[in-house]
Chain A
Amino acid sequence: MSARRDTTGSYVAGLAGLAVTIFVVLAVAAPNFLSQANLTSMGSQFPEFGLLALAVLPTMISGGIDLSVVAISNLAAVVAALLLRAGPELALLAIPAALLTGLACGLLNGLLIAVLRLPPILATLGTLQLFGGLAIVITRGPAITGLPAWYASYGNASIGGVLPVPLLVFGLVALALGLLLRLTATGVRMRLFGANARAAQFAGLRERGLILRIYGGAGVIAALAGLVILARANSANADYGGSYLLLVILINILAGVSPAGGFGTTLGVVFAVLTLQLISSGLNFLAFDAFTRDLFFGGLLIVVMSVRVLVENGLVPVPRLRKVSLP
């Protein structure tokens, strides 16, 4: 039996290099790219799908997946929109209610997986329909509009004129998740459970509590994405972001997260999100048709995965970054 070598460290470094390269190329090729207007606009575009990708990350590290994140974020946005519209007294409850909705949805996923032992991909495929259907029934189809103006103005504000609020939210969530994965017992257990669920049981890990926490957390992060989207779109739509689900999975794969579980880093997801956003903006700047975006994303994913397999099998020589061992 051969071990999968953990190439995550050097892989993430490579991904960062790719993001920087694209950034430099665009900065040189397109004069307006470095303008503050463009940077700010980019900074408020990617956090919504970036957050969704972060929501999926812990589920994939633990050997599962959450297909329902987009549906959860829409349902949370709908709940928040209804409360915002209901009047100033209830508007304050909008954010906590949205987060609670996300938590409840995530816990339902967790229960289906931990207690009924449904495979995560099937459980969350079911709840994807369930949550999406619930949002449609609530809204009866059309988007909920007419939100109080303050919500969008806060949600789209830039702190100090440079740091868009959505970017701040994304940064804070990434930081918190990164700390959780690296520096808490839960994070280590998540990774080991994902690497071998059977061995985790023999090591006395409480998998039920772990799964509930993972999917509950994913629900909360998805709800945050819903709140960010609500501010940007200034409306709540039951079927917003239909193409986000595949994009979000793509980001995680590009980030070097193992679909089999056990490997994946927050930093990887951050760089994967940046890379895709840069490519997407770059295509606009270089006057490519908007329809070519998917072509590039798909091509990039295939190339990156192929290169990774070739490197892991030693078919392409790569200088190995020395892992810095702890003192």
Chain B
Amino acid sequence: MAEPLLTMSGISKAYGPVRVLENVDLSLSAGEVRCLAGENGSGKSTLIKILSGVVAADGGTVTIAGRRLGNDARAAIDAGLSVIYQDFSLFPNLTVAENIAFLRFVAQGRRWNNIAEQRRLAGDVLARMSVDIDPRVLVETLPVASKQLIAIARALANDARIIVMDEPTTALTRNEVTRLAGIVAALKDDGVAFLFVSHKTEEVFSFCDTITVLRDGHVVAAGAVGDFDADRLGREMTGRSIAHERIARADAPPQPVFLETRGLTRRGDYADISLELRPGEIVSILGLLGSGRTELAQTLFGMVAADSGEIRIGGEPVAFAHSSEAVEAGIGYVPEDRLTEGLFLDQPIGDNITVASLEQSASGGLLDRRSLAERARRAVERLRIRTPGIEPPVATLSGGNQQRVVLARWMERSPALMILNGPTVGVDIGSKREIHELLVGLNRSGTALLVVTDDIGEALALSDRILVMVNGRITAAFDPRTADEDTLYAAVTTGGDR
């Protein structure tokens, strides 16, 4: 290959005593797609921040097309670098054309808004990508996959030659992934280089030419994609062999159904959902973002109303008007977004654990603070939450430990059913396995678990039954003892066109 377009060499960075990156090398040639793989906390995001000039490195150099860049975000953009974050950073209230033209017009220092020229530029870029989206519509009305394409178009409109994408396929159906792969391939031929930041093996292998694996701030492996397979990649990322087979357990004794739904439907979100959950059983609902999985889970927790159909608990029909009624009925819910939905970030760990069970430590209307602290401390011990105490704000904990705090909150109530929406999102692989083992252990005590996820490995490791949800419907059921990843991947991503 020719002279690399991008060279990062000897990059080091420390935050105080913590060495985040140590002598990291990475290169990217025109037309190359490289995957930057690593667990949470491996230094991936710091490396991207250094590349984009947001964070200054302590040592090492970044060179794009022979020009050395300092700690200057503007210079990096001018040199043709564009970073697309997971949320795309688009303006939902502006049109497609305005979004696409925005960066370029700002970079050119324009003071006047020329709508006709925006449309022309957007039209040209979208045509180059062979994408058919009306430049006049508002971005907020578009599906996730189109938003991602707009983000790529915005980068191209600003003459990007290196596009960095953070977890690009998280929300895409199989057809959308195929389409993205086609667009990436076409742009590669134009000489655009891509750096995919990811830890998802499927996307690593379907998109990339080369792989760089980061662990604890060091490059532990780099090479052509052909030199890797899923096992090696997992091993390099974690530094050990992480078991991902199904966690062994005794079969739950058959028990009467705790919760069942009949023909549950909510227009635009899910339709005709019938399922049964028994104590001691772990059922996964496997579906992509936007499949209606979250809305269904929230309906069972009383936060979103169904249009028709019924929910029965212990055979009796129930209609939850509020989450508190679901909690009373013995249901706990671990939300998808820990930071905004699951935790009171600035508040003490103890309060985060006991918030749903305060009445257990109250007598005569007054709280027994000693009993609260005692319960919180026991929960910290039982779930092995790594913290010096229960007083610090929960925001000081790592992702895996934060998730344990949310689990602990519901375990204080010994719920009959616990709904977990993405229980290990943003949790690193090692910690993930521990949480899975914890959940299987919890479940032996007779709680039913409903796991909502798009992580096939997670569904296989955890479940007693897997239900596949596509486009608001449950399309298939699998036995995790016999199903394999490929079959599940096909089931989850087919029929997903909208």
Contact = CB atoms under 8 A, between A and B. Distances in A.
- Please determine whether chains A and B interact with each other in the same assembly: yes
Interface of A: 1-6, 179, 183-185, 188-189, 191-192, 195-196, 198-206, 262-263, 323, 325-327
Contacts of A183: 366-367, 369
A192 B342 CA distance: 12
Nearest to B356: A203
B369 A326 contact: yes
A206 B370 contact: no
A183 B362 CA distance: 9
Nearest to A327: B370
B391 A184 contact: no
Nearest to A185: B358
A192 B355 contact: yes
A192 B351 contact: yes
Nearest to B323: A204
B367 A185 contact: yes
In this complex, which of A2, A198, A202, A205 has the most chain B Cβ atoms within 10 angstroms of its Cβ?
A202
B257 to A, nearest CB: 23
In this complex, which of B355, B358, B389 has the most chain A Cβ atoms within 10 angstroms of its Cβ?
B355
Contacts of A185: 358-359, 362, 367
Contacts of A3: 345-346, 393, 395-396
A67 B301 CA distance: 35
A195 B393 CA distance: 12
B333 interface: yes
A188 B395 contact: no
Contacts of A1: 339, 345, 395
B373 to A, nearest CB: 5
B333 A188 contact: no
A202 B344 contact: no
Q: 3 closest A-B pairs (Cβ-Cβ)?
A: A204-B327, A3-B395, A185-B358
Given A192-B351, A327-B370, 11 more contacts: A6-B393, A185-B362, A192-B344, A192-B347, A195-B346, A195-B347, A202-B303, A202-B335, A204-B333, A263-B346, A323-B391
Contact of A202 (B333, B359, B373, B389): B333
Contacts of B323: 201-204
Nearest to A323: B391
B199 interface: no
B132 interface: no
> Interface of chain A, helix or strand or loop or mixed?
loop
Nearest to B302: A204
B359 A206 contact: no
Interface in B349-371: 351, 355-356, 358-359, 362, 365-367, 369-370
Interface string B181-218: 00000000000000000000000000000000000000
Given A204-B327, A205-B324, A199 B343 contact: yes
Interface of B: 301, 303, 322-324, 326-327, 333, 335, 339-348, 351, 355-356, 358-359, 362, 365-367, 369-370, 373, 389, 391, 393, 395-396, 409
A188 B326 contact: no
A204 B326 contact: yes
A189 B355 contact: yes
Contacts of A188: 351, 355, 358, 367
B365 A184 contact: yes
A202 B341 contact: yes
Contacts of B393: 3-6
Contacts of B348: 6
Contacts of B367: 183-185, 188
Contact of B342 (A184, A199, A323, A326): A199
A205 B355 CA distance: 8
A195 B351 CA distance: 12
Nearest to A196: B344
A131 to B, nearest CB: 30
A285 B323 CA distance: 57
A196 B345 contact: yes
A196 B335 CA distance: 14
A326 B376 CA distance: 12
Given A2-B395, A204-B323, A198 B341 contact: yes
A1 B399 CA distance: 12
Nearest to A3: B395
B376 to A, nearest CB: 10
Contacts of A200: 344, 355
Contacts of B359: 185
A132 to B, nearest CB: 34
A203 B369 contact: no
Contacts of B409: 203
Given A325-B389, A326-B369, A206 B322 contact: yes
A312 to B, nearest CB: 12
Contacts of B362: 184-185
B321 to A, nearest CB: 10
Nearest to B352: A192
A2 B396 CA distance: 8
B178 to A, nearest CB: 35
B87 to A, nearest CB: 14
Contacts of A192: 344, 347, 351, 355
